[in-house]
Amino acid sequence: MKKRRLQLEIEGIVQGVGFRPFIYRLARENNLNGWVLNTSGGVLVEVEGNQKTLEMFIRQIDEESPPLAQITTIKSREVSVREDSSFVIKDSRKTYYTQVQLPPDIAICNDCLHDIMDPTNRRYRYPFTSCVNCGPRFKIIKSLPYDRPRTTMKKFKMCPECNTEYNNPLDRRFHAQPNACPLCGPQLWLKKMSGEKCLTRDPIGLTIDLLKKGNIIAIKGIGGFHLMCDATESDVIANLRTRKRRPDKPLALMMNKLTTVRKYCNVGSMEEEILTGIRRPIVLLDKKGEKLPRNIAPGIRYYGVMLPYTPLHYLLFDKGIEVLIATSGNVSGNPLEYQNGGVFENLKGIADYVLGHNREIYVPVDDSVVRVVGGKKRVIRRARGYVPQPLMVGGLDNGLALGGDQKNTFCFARNKYAFISQYLGDLGNIDNYNNFKLMIDHFKELYKIKPDFVVHDLHPDYQTTYYASFYGDKIGVQHHHAHIASCMAENNIDEKVIGLAFDGTGLGNDGNIWGGEFLICDFKDFKRGGHLNYMKMPGGDMAIKEPWRLAVSYLNRLRYDKADIINLLRIDEVEADIILKMLNKGFNCPETSSMGRLFDTVAALIGLRKRITYQAQAALELESIADNNTEEIYHVSIEEKGQKYVVNTDPMMGGIISDHKKGVKRSIISSKFHNTVIAFTLEMCRLIRHKYGINSVALSGGVFQNKLLLEMLCAGLKEQNFKVYSQAKIPCNDSGLSLGQLAIASNRRKD
């Protein structure tokens, strides 16, 4: 049979996942000669042999590829036969075009876990153990192709033994870039905040002892520092909260194993799978009673829990520790600390000790957060373990969408893929903003992209809009349109939908603050089919931080007098007086149709929460107290004003106030309120379907993080034969905006 030689260009997630050794083994098994190498475009293979074997080889590449690999295309072309005598792995080649997809950072695999737990293994208790199937990737990579010299592992020269593993195509550590051992790899140290090193041969053991004594320790993970402390002592937690200036916001927990998680939380099978999977996000799980200190997650129904994901984490759960607080290493609102240089300065007064090491983190990445709602895994914060994995979305142009200013992500596209950055936080903070700029540059460099245009929100005072002002070609996209487009893009639909955009704050085209929107839209355009009635926000942003102002606003609108208002809300008379004057004079009282504010208003009206200390706190607490056993609803009316349907929530608010005055339990009021929101939303959808003949409904906006609302609304819509789309892979909150922005801008440019 005639010998042929094929050149295969393989694209997808094919670097840092053990792909070349896999090809190597496969070629040897099939007795094919040639070579394989990493390029910035993916992997290039040349093999020669007879037709049949070659076909089999290609089929096997596709079917048997390593667990972390994701092949998107295999292009093959015939080249002339060279008569190679063996199959070899060649050095990487740099090219100027790249389609390569990087793997995210992955939790330690079982094989490596065995290694570190086995006293006879040379990596026994070595916290930087990894292999080709696990360990850090995204956050240590400086440029592509993914090779050791281009990672933060460059400075560690492998010892002979590690080197042998690294060069043996049949070893699990063949070309595993972070490969290291206690002899040659990164080393751990424990230091006091003064920078003084603790003299110990076992920094981990000492750390455990210190944790048990109630210390707060900054521990370097793979994406940054965590602040860890004993999660069973409420005093220690209170201390951490004071130091971190985070009075109420739930703190994430790290638990040693699944059985421990089951002890404190209700864990479904899907949740179990996510907890133990390779990505290891924080999973929001309903509490099973309140066996842990109340100040871990006060006022809400769930805990955020993750299992250990690095060797170091596993080693911390020695000597009987089962649950640790593992919150991000920063002062609330500032970026995650990830460098040895900054930690002693910036976490001074917060941490008591630092457990760190000399492996540099190049890209800071937060823990991801997911929640299972309606039988689907919903990503709420997309970062470690997910980024930079792209999403298949058609029709996107070569632009850069900058997202919103809060929970920021940015997004760019290449061919059929949308690449979305990790969660970058609130860009109103200069350090976060600088990190945002740095990450854009990093991605541009990594993927060799030169965007043709940028896309930004219409809010004139967003930092993202400011960033866009330095670009020539820019496109502004309305906030809620972007939310819905994000949902459409994620679900790969391109048709007219009824878009329910329920969120906190976004600037509308009429200059008001929107957020309870029923849009008629496609990728190109939108029109407001309906919305919640406007209400005044006395003091603008302050009304968001202090929902009692919204309650005053509503009571004033319903003509309650000052004495009644003070009495009902138990507020300070002077403050009430000023707020009422502001309302009556229209002084600094922007109008909003926001659904988030509606939740806030109700929470304040029934005395659940007057002031918040973290975003959406009032709404979360309102959701948490809801008692699912009532089917009652409040009255609302829907009015047709011009071309739009407007939900008049006044009668509902009246009902809530009178229930509250009568002493109806808050849990019942909350539940009735949720029922009402669902009822009027369904009614609005029916009206709009009737008027416009659209049957598909897309749901997006941060309010849909409310599990009760999302589950009941989806069920209700399906019952009425609507086709329902919601977000799962991409957060429904403002982290999802960038994808929607890019989809809209790309479509507009096609005219």
Partner 1 sequence: MNTISLAHGNGGKMMEDLIDNLFLKYLNNDIINKKDDASPVPEIKGVPVISTDTFVVDPIFFPGGNIGKLSICGTVNDLAVTGAIPLYLTVGFILEEGLPIKHLEKIIISMAEVSREANVKIVAGDTKVVERGKGDKIFINTTGVGMIGDKLKLSDENIKLGDKVIINGSIAEHGLAILMERNQMDFSTSIKSDCCTLSDLIVTLLSETNGIKFMRDPTRGGMATVLNEIATRYNVGIEIEEEKVPLGDEIKSLCKILGLDPLYLANEGKVLIIADREKSEKIVDIMRRHPYGRNSSIIGTIVDNNDQQVYLKTRIGGKRIITKLMHDMLPRIC
Task: In whole angstroms, give the CA distance from residue 59 to residue 56.
Answer: 5
If binding is defined by CB under 8 A, does position 541 make contact with partner 1? yes
Per CB under 5 A, contacts with Zn ion among 184-203 are: 184
Taking CB within 5 to 8 Å according to partner kind, which of partner 1, Zn ion, Fe ion, none is near residue 430? partner 1
> If DSSP codes are grouped into helix, strand and coil, which group holds residue 76?
strand
If binding is defined by CB under 8 A, does position 615 make contact with partner 1? yes
If binding is defined by CB under 5 A, does position 159 make contact with Zn ion? yes
Burial tier of 174 (Cβ tally within 10 Å: 0-12, 13-18, 19+): buried
Residues whose CB is less than 8 angstroms from the CB of residue 658 and which lie 6 or more positions away in sequence, other chains included: none
**Cβ 169 to Zn ion shortest distance, Å:** 17
Task: In whole angstroms, give the CA distance from residue 713 to residue 167.
Answer: 56
If binding is defined by CB under 5 A, does position 372 make contact with Zn ion? no
Taking CB within 5 to 8 Å according to partner kind, which of Fe ion, partner 1, Zn ion, none is near residue 109? Zn ion
**Cβ 231 to partner 1 shortest distance, Å:** 24
> If DSSP codes are grouped into helix, strand and coil, which group holds residue 504?
strand
Range in contact with Zn ion (rule: CB under 5 A) among 110-118, 147-155, 511-519, 704-712: 110-118
109: left (phi over 0), alpha (psi -120 to 50) or beta: beta
Helices (H), 227-287: 234-244, 258-264, 269-276
If binding is defined by CB under 5 A, does position 571 make contact with Zn ion? no
If binding is defined by CB under 8 A, does position 462 make contact with partner 1? yes
Residue tagged 């260009």 (tokens): 9
- 165, 503, 600, 621: which one binds partner 1 (CB under 8 A): 503
Closest CA relative to residue 173, chosen from 219, 121, 223: 121
Taking CB within 5 to 8 Å according to partner kind, which of Zn ion, Fe ion, partner 1, none is near residue 461? partner 1
Contacts with Fe ion, 472-511, as mask; x by CB under 5 A: -------------------------------x--x-----
If binding is defined by CB under 8 A, does position 575 make contact with partner 1? yes
Per CB under 8 A, contacts with partner 1 among 689-708 are: 702
Check if the beta carbon of residue 229 is closer than 8 Å to that of residue 216: yes
Q: What is the 3-class SS of 556-582, one letter each residue? A: HHCCCCHHHHHHHHCCCHHHHHHHHHH
Check if the beta carbon of residue 282 is closer than 8 Å to that of residue 252: yes
The conformation of residue 327, written as its DSSP 8-state character, comes to E
If binding is defined by CB under 5 A, does position 222 make contact with Zn ion? no
- 181, 507, 698, 745: which one binds partner 1 (CB under 8 A): 507
Taking CB within 5 to 8 Å according to partner kind, which of partner 1, Zn ion, Fe ion, none is near residue 493? none
Q: In this structure, are strands 696-700 and 497-507 parallel, antiparallel, or unpaired? A: parallel
Edge-to-edge strands of the sheet including 87-89? 70-79, 3-13, 42-50, 33-39, 87-89
If binding is defined by CB under 8 A, does position 245 make contact with partner 1? yes
Range in contact with partner 1 (rule: CB under 8 A) among 161-169, 461-469, 487-495, 552-560: 461-469
What are the Cα distances from residue 606, in Å, to 645, 659, 661, 664?
A: 28, 9, 9, 10
Give the DSSP letter string of 144-158.
SS--GGGBTTTT-PP
If binding is defined by CB under 5 A, does position 734 make contact with Fe ion? yes
- 44, 162, 219, 343: which one binds Zn ion (CB under 5 A): 162
Q: How many CA atoms lie within 13 A of 441 on its CB side?
A: 8
Q: Which of 5, 20, 359, 609 is catalytic?
A: 20
Give the DSSP letter string of 347-376.
TTTT-SEEEEESPPPSS--PPPEEEEETTE
Residue tagged 């982290």 (tokens): 735
Contacts with Fe ion, 269-308, as mask; x by CB under 5 A: ----------------------------------------
Task: In whole angstroms, give the CA distance from residue 256 to residue 309.
Answer: 10
> If DSSP codes are grouped into helix, strand and coil, which group holds residue 512?
coil
Q: Which of 5, 33, 38, 432 is catalytic?
A: 38
Per CB under 5 A, contacts with Fe ion among 625-644 are: none
Contacts with partner 1, 303-332, as mask; x by CB under 8 A: ----------------------------xx
- 23, 45, 89, 131: which one binds Zn ion (CB under 5 A): 131
If binding is defined by CB under 8 A, does position 569 make contact with partner 1? no
Q: Measured from the CB atom, is 207 or 706 closer to partner 1?
A: 706
Taking CB within 5 to 8 Å according to partner kind, which of Zn ion, partner 1, Fe ion, none is near residue 278? none
Range in contact with partner 1 (rule: CB under 8 A) among 96-104, 111-119, 537-545, 670-678: 537-545
Taking CB within 5 to 8 Å according to partner kind, which of Zn ion, partner 1, Fe ion, none is near residue 579? partner 1
Residues in the chain: 751
If binding is defined by CB under 8 A, does position 543 make contact with partner 1? yes
Task: In whole angstroms, give the CA distance from residue 675 to residue 708.
Answer: 10
If binding is defined by CB under 8 A, does position 79 make contact with partner 1? no
Taking CB within 5 to 8 Å according to partner kind, which of Fe ion, partner 1, Zn ion, none is near residue 400? none
- 431, 494, 564, 650: which one binds partner 1 (CB under 8 A): 431
If binding is defined by CB under 5 A, does position 181 make contact with Zn ion? yes
Q: Measured from the CB atom, is 46 or 600 closer to Fe ion?
A: 600
Check if the beta carbon of residue 202 is closer than 8 Å to that of residue 299: no
If binding is defined by CB under 8 A, does position 216 make contact with partner 1? no
If binding is defined by CB under 8 A, does position 577 make contact with partner 1? yes
The residue at minimum Cβ distance from Fe ion is 503
> If DSSP codes are grouped into helix, strand and coil, which group holds residue 93?
strand
Taking CB within 5 to 8 Å according to partner kind, which of Fe ion, Zn ion, partner 1, none is near residue 296? none
Q: Give how far the C-alpha of residue 436 lies from the chain's centroid of Cα atoms, to the nearest Å.
A: 15
Closest CA relative to residue 522, chosen from 575, 485, 482, 472: 485
Check if the beta carbon of residue 265 is closer than 8 Å to that of residue 304: no
Residue tagged 């209170």 (tokens): 238
Per CB under 8 A, contacts with partner 1 among 134-173 are: none
Structural tokens at position 750: 């096609």
Is 20 annotated as catalytic? yes
Residue 637 neighbours by CB distance under 10 Å: 13
Range in contact with partner 1 (rule: CB under 8 A) among 147-155, 188-196, 425-433, 690-698: 425-433
If binding is defined by CB under 5 A, does position 183 make contact with Zn ion? yes
The residue ranges of DSSP E strands in 80-181, in sequence order, are 87-89
What is the Cα gyration radius of the chain?
A: 28
Task: In whole angstroms, give the CA distance from residue 6 to residue 231.
Answer: 58
Number of residues that bind partner 1 (CB under 8 A): 54
Is 38 annotated as catalytic? yes
Per CB under 8 A, contacts with partner 1 among 440-459 are: 459
Per CB under 5 A, residues contacting Fe ion are 503, 506, 734
Residues designated as active site: 20, 38
Per CB under 8 A, residues contacting partner 1 are 245, 331-334, 405-407, 427-431, 433, 437, 459-463, 466-467, 503-505, 507, 513, 537-545, 574-575, 577-579, 581-582, 585, 587-588, 590, 592, 596, 615-616, 702, 733-734
